[in-house]
Amino acid sequence: MVKDHPALQLFSDLLVAAPSGREAALAAVVRQKLTDWDIPHTQDGMGNVLVRLDGRSPQAPLVMYAAHMDEIGLVVTKINGDGSLQVSNSGGLLPWKLGEGPVEILGDQETIVGVLSMGSTHTANASDTAVTWNNVQVMTGLSPAQLKAAGVRPGSTGVPTRERRGPVLFGDPADPLVGAWTFDDRMGVVALLRLLQTMQREGIRPFHPTLIAFTVSEEVGGHGAKSLAMREQPEIFISVDGAPIPPGTPLALDGRPAIWSKDRLGHYDQPLLLALCRAARNAGTELQTVVYDSAASDASLVYYAGGAQRIACMGQVRANSHGYEVARLAVFDHMLNTLVQFVRDFAG
């Protein structure tokens, strides 16, 4: 059945809270998966989870594939006298994307649940009010002393509760859409985990020495990937992420993944882009190319910092970016098949 799709099963297993700087719970799930599959791995001091693969050509340059584990969220800025929390964004989260509803706040000792509140609409000109973080608080029902005991403080972060995350399938049963809060970038993590499973099962060895990385803190500056790239010095860095659809972007939710050609930090490596497009065609699909003015990826952040010479970013096309995102279910298999084909063939 569609609900038993391996990508969705893995995705559901990964839906633990992992706002930037608090990725440890998700890293533990990723590491347990790798352990269960007998895939050797390590974790560095920043929290990046790493799988090293020998290449058929040991002297070839290092290729790194990365998907970030962190997610957008909210951060506590102040605890009010009544126990409510003033909050702001961590990463690119806008309050109207969340709406009112339950959130979990990760305290140092325990996680608490509160309700995101934007106040009453029974006020003059309520319909004309633009919602900003100044209008938002989290009602906790706890006293400041109880919050302190839980380790909730300025700097604590939060995300929607598990029951609000999905995934949900809808539309044509033969070719459904799937929605969740959010695919960014757990579906990149899913893609790389499935890639490792496939390589192990089919005995695939890449031409290049390869490092597959599950990185931290992408949403707040790509710090995990940048630190890792500076240490490992890959020639090629490939982000496996997503592709939002801002107005005017020529992307379709038709099952084809996308590949970034340019973002706000610069152009991606065009020969590498063409090689990935060729792998997609050989895998029975194609990549949609896209240009962004207001987006960046682990790859472009690494490139901008001088951490890699050649970069690419590919992934699922998703509507409602940084919100309750929607993708075509078929895109996740097309992503996997493209990556498998690329790893088999690429010797550039």
- 172 lies in a domain? no
Residue from 171, 162, 159, 182 nearest 316 by CA: 182
Do residue 238 and residue 132 come from a single domain? no
Residue from 23, 298, 63 nearest 31 by CA: 23
pLDDT digits (tens, 9 = 90+) for 79-134: 999 999 999 999 999 999 998 999 999 999 999 999 999 887 777 776 777 788 98
Task: Answer whether residue 3 shows pLDDT above 80.
Answer: no
H or E segment and range at residue 334: helix 330-345
Do residue 218 and residue 247 come from a single domain? yes
The pLDDT score that the predictor gives to residue 15 is 96
pLDDT digits (tens, 9 = 90+) for 121-148: 777 776 777 788 988 999 999 999 999 9
Residue from 347, 273, 340 nearest 310 by CA: 273
Do residue 118 and residue 240 come from a single domain? no
The pLDDT score that the predictor gives to residue 1 is 41
Query: Which one of 102, 126, 161 terminates a domain?
Result: 161
Rounded Cα distance, 97 and 243, in Å:
18
Residue 31 is part of which domain span? Answer: 2-71+182-345
Do residue 212 and residue 300 come from a single domain? yes
Helices 330-345, 270-282: inter-axial angle, 10-degree rounding: 110
pLDDT digits (tens, 9 = 90+) for 215-250: 999 999 999 999 999 999 999 999 999 999 999 999
Average pLDDT of the residues in 11-23 = 96
The pLDDT score that the predictor gives to residue 58 is 94
Do residue 195 and residue 272 come from a single domain? yes
Task: Answer whether residue 59 shows pLDDT above 80.
Answer: yes
Side chain identity at 112, as an amino acid letter? I
Number of domains in the chain: 2
Average pLDDT of the residues in 327-341 = 98
CATH number of the structural domain spanning residue 256: 3.40.630.10
The pLDDT score that the predictor gives to residue 127 is 73
- 130 lies in a domain? yes
Do residue 139 and residue 253 come from a single domain? no
Do residue 193 and residue 289 come from a single domain? yes
Rounded Cα distance, 91 and 72, in Å:
5
- 167 lies in a domain? no
State residue 130 phi and psi, 5-degree precision. -85, 125
- 169 lies in a domain? no
Number of H helices and E strands in the chain, helices first, is 9, 18
Rounded Cα distance, 87 and 75, in Å:
5
Residue 61 is given by DSSP the state P
pLDDT digits (tens, 9 = 90+) for 153-197: 999 999 999 999 999 999 999 999 999 999 999 999 999 999 999
- 84 lies in a domain? yes
Do residue 149 and residue 35 come from a single domain? no
Q: What is the band of 16 on the pLDDT scale with cuts at 50, 70, 90?
A: very high
Do residue 190 and residue 282 come from a single domain? yes
pLDDT digits (tens, 9 = 90+) for 245-277: 999 999 999 999 999 999 999 999 999 999 999
CATH number of the structural domain spanning residue 110: 2.40.30.40
Residue from 140, 138, 193 nearest 14 by CA: 193
Residue from 348, 347, 341, 237 nearest 281 by CA: 341
| Reported pTM | 0.95
As to burial, measured by CB atoms within 10 angstroms (0-12 exposed, 13-18 middle, 19+ buried), residue 278 is middle
Do residue 189 and residue 273 come from a single domain? yes
Do residue 135 and residue 58 come from a single domain? no
Do residue 203 and residue 309 come from a single domain? yes
pLDDT digits (tens, 9 = 90+) for 290-319: 999 999 999 999 999 999 999 999 999 999
- 41 lies in a domain? yes
Q: What is the band of 348 on the pLDDT scale with cuts at 50, 70, 90?
A: confident
